[in-house]
Structure 1
Amino acid sequence: MIKEDNIMDNLETKRKKAFLIGIVLLCLSVLLLIISVNVGRADIKIMDVVKIIVSKITSRNDILSGISKSKVAIVWDIRLPRILVALLVGGGLAVSGAIFQSLLMNPLADPYTIGVSTGAAFGAVLCIYINIFIIQTPMPIMPFAFMGAIVTLLIVMKIANIDGYMSSSNLIIAGIIVSSILSAGISFLKSTSGEQVFAIVYWLMGSLNSRTWSQVIVSLPIILICTFACIYFADDLNILAFGEKEARALGVNTKRTRNIFLICASLITAVCVSVSGIIGFIGLVVPHIVRFSLTSDNKYLIPISSLLGAILLLMADNISRSLFNIDIPVGVITTLFGGPFFIYIFTSKNKSIQ
């Protein structure tokens, strides 16, 4: 009885700690957003930034007196959409990574495990190829990438659904197969692009350059709705992590639960990849950090991963656009820093186990 009380006390302490850290990360993300708007080669005072944002939100143009139109355009039309997209994509990729790791019971799973991101990449590359060589009026990349991701998810689920049963191992295997085929398709389009291949390669490296309000408006509701849906059903995901039989014995509809999380995580990944290209390691590293340092309870893991992922990607984007003479794709920055950091986490974990 005493042992059970101690376990309950420990769980309650962890939950309070997780809630407190979540509040701190939320405040930090807001602070970082304000600071990031002031980061750049154009020297704009922080008070001018605040006036521009307040003026646009309240539709009061009198607040902008003394502020040039160029500064208003830089803050409202260039910097702020890019910053918001960075927060949304970073948070979305981290949420997808946390869901796939719990759903597939694989600590190395991330938004790219079941091929959804590769499908989005194939759709985007196909659109770029068509724009370069086939039609004169360029088509938007985002719808192509989104449709590529959704079609890939449907194909993977169809392949993995054997005799009406879709296991985690079947999903991973189906994802690897479909992803390999789509990767070959991307390589084929790249090899036939000739001197225009740079446009494809640059997109695949992942960049937040030239993001607009239209991409914010499209991605914001999908990412938020799917994230809140995952948090709402997080208890079922916790039970599902114990195994299919145990979850069914406890009354969880495993098929429905798996489909909900698969669809939500895939939609988030599709939107993120369609607006930013391939950005690696956020979906893999961030859930690891939260899971091993704080909690594995998805009720807290998902929102905290979202906040931490948003902060890390925004910091990486600030580095890419402020420390170099050219705009380095943020996917390069996340891989350069995320790869060694993941190695450190992995080796530290193994040492602690031994």
Structure 2
Amino acid sequence: MSLRLWLLLVGIVIVAAVVAVAGGAVPIAALDVLRALVGQGDATQVAIVQDLRLPRIALGITVGAGLAVSGAALQTTLRNPLAEPYLLGVSGGAAAGAVTAVTLGIASAAVLPLAAFAGAVAAVVVVLLVARAVAGHADPRVLLMAGVVVGAFCTALIMVALATAPENTVRGALWWMMGSLGDAQWRGVRWVALYVAVGIGLLVLWARDIDVLALGEDAAASLGLPVERVTRRVYFAASLLAAATVAGAGLIGFVGLIVPAIGRALGARNTRESLLAAALVGAALVVLADLAARTLLRPAELPLGAVTALIGVPFFLWRLRRMR
């Protein structure tokens, strides 16, 4: 990808963030946004921009980058353009771990991503075991079916965990399961950003191994790549990303499905370029989807997961038809 294209992607993220700061239930003019950013102007607008919208946009950028990179890594590793954390059950496992932590009263900003990561890893292990039991190896098609089943099972576990929870906890958890950036606060954003940065850094570091793995297991093994070990590392790093995003914003599906295809269409030539391009495109997509969730039925707010699903489901069906 050319430098001009990279600058264009960065510019799109910046424009999306600026538009999202100005838009919402209370629209704010561009000049007033600039004044509010430096603490000047109307006190209400300053509070809206600095305390509500900026943390929300920062979380959206972080979540979008994490989900997109996780999806790009999984699609390349599994050699399946339909693979993504939501469909593979990783996000469902992360949600189950996070809800368990919430119901146990141990859901601090630092602990919640760890609980979600534990649930995501457990889901990955179960999906791999099911796929190997059925197909004898990690067949990509069987992995997808196993992921859907494990995701449904995790949803059932969440319902059981919430059955005896207080009403306020149930209401908050159900909204959180549908995906939302509404509770974004700077302390939580910093923790989510830390986990996402670690996950993306690891996958970028292992990008050359993923390139080799994309040739196929037999070809990668013949080139001396420890296939099982590299595959597990990619799964765990992708799980960390999915867990951090679930802990920060709940279940947001299909971002990891749509964005990697856009990155490839832009001309990403290898895994490292694909991951970095996915991070930028995913950040812009989630910020704009959140803006749509806040404004389409203003002053009511749609679940963010519903907005991404409205985009992602037709895309999934289109990709599925192309794979025929």
* TM superposition score category, shorter chain reference: 0.7 to 0.9
- 2:158 corresponding residue in structure 1: 186
Structure 2: distance between partners of 1:199 and 1:142: 19
Between 206-215 and 283-292, the greater mean CA deviation after superposition: 283-292
**Residue 243 (structure 1) shift:** 1.9
The alpha carbon displacement at 1:175 in A equals: 5.2
Distance 1:152 1:279 in 2: 14
Aligned mate of 2:308, from 331, 334, 348: 334
Pairing 1:170-185 to 2, within 5 Å after superposition: 172=143, 178-185=150-157
Structure 1 match to 2:281: 308
Q: State the 1:51 CA deviation.
A: 3.6
In structure 1, distance between residues paired with 2:163 and 2:126: 30
2:30 corresponds to: 46
- Written as runs of structure 1 = structure 2, the 5 A alignment for 1:152-301 is 152-153=120-121, 156-157=124-125, 160=128, 168-169=138-139, 172=143, 178-192=150-164, 197-291=170-264, 294-295=267-268, 297-301=270-274
Moved more, 259-268 or 306-315: 259-268
CA separation of 1:228/1:189 partners in 2, compared to 1, >3 Å: closer, same or farther?
A: closer
State the alpha-carbon separation in 2 of the partners of residues 160 and 327 from structure 1.
37
Q: Which moved more, 1:143-152 or 1:229-238?
A: 143-152
What RMSD, in angstroms, separates the aligned Cα atoms of the two structures?
A: 3.0
Deviations 1:274-317 (A, max 9, x none): 11111111111221333356346212211111111111111111
Bigger CA radius of gyration: 1
Aligned residues, how many? Answer: 315
Maintained 8 Å contact 2:93/2:123: no
Cα gap change, 1:160 to 1:120, in 2 (>3 Å): closer
Inter-partner Cα distance in structure 1 for 2:194 and 2:111: 16
* 1:221 alignment partner AA: L
| Moved segments of 4+, more than 6 Å | none
Q: Using the alignment, how far apart are the partners of 2:8 and 2:98 within structure 1?
A: 37
Q: Give the aligned partner of residue 37 of structure 1.
A: 21
- Deviations, residues 13-59 of structure 1 (Å, cap 9, x unaligned): xx44xx54332111110122122111123343323322443x3xxxx
How far apart, in 2, do the equivalents of 1:330 and 1:179 lie?
19
TM normalised by structure 1 equals 0.78
Q: Distance in 2 between matches of 1:93 and 1:143?
A: 20
* Conserved 8 A contact 1:142-1:275: no
Write the distance in 1 (CA, Å) between the matches of 2:292 and 2:119. Answer: 35
With over 3 angstroms needed to count, the CA separation of the structure-2 counterparts of 1:282 and 1:52, relative to structure 1, is same
Aligned-residue offset at 1:193 = 5.4
Deviates more, 1:183-192 or 1:320-329: 183-192
Tell whether the 8 Å contact from 1:156 to 1:178 is kept in structure 2 after alignment: no
Q: Secondary structure at the match of 2:184?
A: coil
> Which consecutive unaligned segments of at least 5 residues does structure 2 have?
none
Inter-partner Cα distance in structure 2 for 1:98 and 1:151: 21
Cα gap change, 1:251 to 1:259, in 2 (>3 Å): same
The answer to whether the 8 Å contact 2:93/2:122 transfers is no
Structure 1 stretches of 5 or more lacking a match?
1-14, 56-63, 132-137
Say if 1:118 and 1:155 are closer, same or farther in 2 by CA, change over 3 A. Answer: closer
Distance 2:65 2:123 in 1: 26
> Conserved in 1, the CA contact under 8 Å of 2:67 and 2:241?
yes
3-state SS of the aligned residue for 1:110? Answer: coil
- The one-character-per-residue Cα deviations of 1:34-92 (angstroms, maximum 9, x if unpaired) are 22111123343323322443x3xxxxxxxx45x23322211111000001111111111
User: Contact 2:85–2:242 at 8 Å: present in 1 too?
Assistant: yes
Shift in Å, 1:191: 4.8
Amino acid in structure 1 at the alignment position of 2:55: P
Amino acid at match of 1:75: V
SS of equivalent residue, structure 1 residue 168 = coil
> In 2 relative to 1, CA 113–91 (structure 1 residues): closer, same or farther, beyond 3 Å?
same
Equivalent residue in structure 1 for 2:68, among 94, 99, 111: 94
Whether the 8 Å contact between 1:234 and 1:298 is mirrored in structure 2 is: yes
Tell me if structure 2 keeps the 8 A contact 1:22–1:307.
no
Structure 2 match to 1:82: 56
Tell me the amino acid that sits aligned with residue 187 of structure 2.
S
Relative distance call for 1:167 and 1:26 in structure 2 (3 A) is farther
Correspondence for 1:60: none
1:120 aligned partner: 94
Q: Is the 8 A contact 1:125 1:186 kept in 2?
A: yes
Q: 1:127 to 1:155 in 2, by over 3 A?
A: closer
